[in-house]
Copies of this chain bind each other. A is one copy, B any other.
Amino acid sequence: MAHAVDHDPRVTLVTLDADPLDPAAVLAAVGARAAGGNVLFVGTVRDVTGDVATTRLEYEAHAPLARAELARLCGEAADRFDLVAVAVSHRLGVVEPGDASVAVAASAAHRREAFAAAEWLMERIKATVPIWKCDHAPDGGRSWVHGQASAERGP
């Protein structure tokens, strides 16, 4: 479901849903003739993390707050890095190894701003957007990931 982002024309796509994620659509959302540099990041589910095999991940979110935060971070990225356009899609529900869980795209006049924006946006998404992952292990075990305190990163 696309978030209403009418208020900032540079934020061209914000989605958070259980549909398969199409990275090409996220890249296409930032295509513009005024941009020379376009960066797309795609986060995919690894089949092994360290020595631990993952069969799948499951994502849950506080959806209204998460969509608002994603849109707010996109707008902040556009301001900070002078972007022409910025877009983000994040999955909910079960994501299998090899599939994309998140994609962000940023376009700018020059490549440095586009790289810096996409990397900054991924860091902020992982730090502040209310989305959680649950690891499903091959033995049937499940564990929600709550690595770092989010209270300090609050509003």
List B contacts of A98 (CB < 8 A). Answer: 31, 33
Q: By DSSP majority rule, is chain A's interface helix, strand, loop, or mixed? A: mixed
Instruction: Please name all residues of chain B whose beta carbon is closer than 8 Å to the beta carbon of A31 when the two chains form the complex.
Output: 44, 98
Contact with B along A95-116 (1 / 0, CB 8 A): 0011000000000010110110
| Pairs across A and B, CB under 8 Å, 30 listed | A23-B24, A23-B27, A23-B40, A24-B24, A33-B44, A33-B46, A33-B47, A33-B97, A33-B98, A34-B46, A35-B46, A36-B43, A36-B44, A36-B45, A36-B46, A37-B42, A37-B43, A37-B44, A38-B43, A38-B44, A39-B39, A39-B41, A39-B42, A40-B40, A40-B42, A41-B114, A41-B115, A43-B111, A112-B119, A115-B118
